[in-house]
Amino acid sequence: MTSRRISTGSPFESRIGYSRAIIADGWVFVAGTTGYDYATMTMPAGVAEQCRNALGTIARALAEAGASLDDVVRVRYILPDKADWPPCWPLTAAAFAKALPAATMIVAGLQEPEMKIEIEVTARLPG
């Protein structure tokens, strides 16, 4: 099996010991991604902005792998508060309008109290 690791340069990757994404045998596995703005290392207060940031980070990791959000086949959303989920729907519907991946939303605690959403995806490289 051949694999390649992708990093966003987030300090959490080296501190915790993970890669933002792994490409293995035509698949791209993107780690759970929260809403940090990695340019400023800040976390927006609102769930929609956190969702937007997470989707942007995921899209950049997929692009580096040679894929896009349109290639996502599986997505998992994790939120500490299920009431925060509906405000994300317009963003996720737009992001995955073409892919229409299999999806699951889980209510669970996240690593830090300011984190309102974490998104994990699996994509298949095109071609």
pLDDT in tens, 75-111: 999 999 999 999 999 999 999 999 999 999 999 999 9
What does the pLDDT read at residue 1? 66
* Residue listed under structure tokens 């927006």: 44
Beta-carbon contacts of residue 18 (< 8 Å; ≥ 6 apart): 12, 31
Distance in angstroms (rounded) separating the CA atoms of residues 123 and 30? 8
For the chain, list the domains and their CATH numbers. 3-124 (3.30.1330.40)
- Give the model's pLDDT for residue 50: 98
pLDDT in tens, 19-28: 899 999 999 9
